[in-house]
Copies of this chain bind each other. A is one copy, B any other.
Amino acid sequence: MRILILGGDGYLGWPQALYLSQKGHEVAVFDNLARRQFDLRHGIDSLVPIFPMQRRIARWQALTGKTIAHYHGDMVDWEALSKVFQTFQPEAVVHFAQQRSAPFSMIDREHAVYTQQTNVVGTLNLLYAIKEFAPDCHLVKLGTMGEYGTPNIPIEEGYIEITHKGRTDTLPFPKQPGSFYHLSKVHDSHNIHFCCRVWGLRATDLNQGVVYGADTYETLLDPELATRFDYDQVYGTALNRFCAQAAVGHPLTIYGKGGQTRGCIHVKDTVRCIELAIENPAAPGEFRVFNQITEWFSVAQLAERVQRVGQKMGLDVQISHLPNPRVEKEEHFYEVVHTKLLDLGLEPHLLDDAEIERMISLSMEHRDRIDMGQIKPTVNWRATENEVEPTQTDAALLPAT
């Protein structure tokens, strides 16, 4: 099948491209390198070295004989996006090409506007590109479990049957997102749902949990195939960051009480979930939602597990509670229905000590690359001014308004 990976240079997009290529699909990637540009601008880098796109694609071809087509472009640039649709004629499109950091979106007004404009307009362009050039193409869209927030009832997969005043309907599950980034994903979900209803497009919205893990079977084939691994306050997710902290003797930084509970998933399961969605596409007109998680943990539980494994490895691992820079419930009910991907055949890689040990070891191997100044949270949900100041070159990233 011809599969287009939007955002194919990122933490998840790149392993996804390799995985689907390995499975025999014809894969193209489209990316504007925004994530690498952020690193350049802020003087930071992936803990694991990553290679230029051209080079890793060449390495993949040398190792496997398989080619991956590469398009450089931006989702908000209609000409670039429509050109790749007309040229490649995708049968499925996987959409990772978004500003994907909650702290980034909370830095200040410019970053909030940039996040929502980039994500919402990018997805609108994509919906029109599908409608115009590939109306039967199946859209597989990455959403986030953070769209739901933390309601006091179990979280269903996208819809909930409500009986109210003697009448019943199945309606979209109410959303309570917790940052301008999470909000942008909610906006996308509503826009995509509408286009399925009105234009008969087919779409799967994957509300993904926090992804952890440093590698997949494909990225492990060669160091030049590695995907990025972020440990910093803006892009590093909790478990990855804790492992990096344990490796360098930095206390594991829990925001607030640590009772915040989040759905989690290993990157190896992410790539498989997306394959399952592609192999079993939504019907024309269908807007389908899967909760793409395999288990859930509180932040404190994750920290304690990293501490325990680190201590077994002979490391001195401390835990420190920082004032919570976010506005969120620190103790709450959390229960998520996530059967649809299991029903399609997902066999989860659950979090075990070996995986944590692997991530700590990897962090120790690359510990010289860690910039301790990038770990402490400086982006505060409540503040008017945050310490991650837009630098002069930020303006280049922000579209004209």
Binding site for B on A (CB under 8 A): 76-78, 109, 112-113, 116-117, 120-121, 124-125, 128, 131-132, 151-154, 156, 160, 162-165, 167-169, 171-180, 183, 186-187, 190-191, 193-194, 197-199, 327, 333, 381-382, 384, 399-401
* A21→B121 CA distance, assembly (Å): 39
Q: Say yes or no: A172 contacts B172, CB within 8 Å.
A: no
CA distance A131 to B197 in the complex (A): 37
Contacts of A120 in B (CB 8 A): 116-117, 120, 187
Is B121's CB under 8 angstroms from A117's CB? Answer: yes
Partner among B109, B132, B176 whose Cβ is within 8 Å of the Cβ of A125:
B109
Q: State which of B156, B164, B176 has its C-beta within 8 Å of the C-beta of A160.
A: B164
Closest to A148 in B: B171
Interface SS of chain A: mixed
A78–B114 Cα gap in the complex (Å)?
13
Q: Are A177 and B164 in contact (CB under 8 A)?
A: no
Given known A-B contacts A113-B125, A183-B194, A401 and B77 have beta carbons under 8 A apart: yes
Report chain B residues within 8 Å CB of A183: 187, 190-191, 194
Q: Which residues of B contact A76 (CB under 8 A)?
A: 401
Q: Tell me whether A164 and B175 are in contact in the complex, defined as CB-CB below 8 angstroms, given that A116-B120, A384-B131 are known contacts.
A: no
A182 to chain B, nearest CB (A): 9
A167 CB contact (under 8 Å) in B77, B109, B152:
B152
Contact A190 B162 (CB under 8 A): no
Q: Is the CB of A198 within 8 A of B384?
A: no
Q: Given known contacts A153-B162, A160-B162, is B167 in contact with A190 (CB within 8 Å)?
A: no
Is B154 a contact partner of A164 (Cβ separation < 8 A)? yes
- Determine if B124 and A116 form an interchain contact, defined as CB atoms under 8 angstroms apart: yes
User: How close is A80's CB to chain B, nearest CB, in angstroms?
Assistant: 11
**Which chain B residues lie closer than 8 Å to A163 at the CB level?**
153
Residue of B nearest to A77 (CB): B401
A78 to B178, CA, bound (A): 24
Q: How far is B174's CA from A229's CA once the two chains are assembled, in angstroms?
A: 37
- Shortest C-beta distance, A131 to chain B (Å), equals 7
- A76, B173: Cα distance in complex, Å: 31
Q: Closest approach, in angstroms, between the C-beta of A323 and any C-beta of chain B?
A: 15
In the complex, how many angstroms separate the beta carbon of A196 from the nearest chain B beta carbon? 11
A172 touches B162 (CB 8 A): no
Known: A121-B113, A128-B112. A165 touches B154 (CB 8 A): yes
Contacts of A171 in B (CB 8 A): 151, 153, 174, 176
- Report Cα–Cα, A399/B333, bound state, in Å: 43
Give the CA-CA distance A95 to B365 in the complex, in Å.
Answer: 55
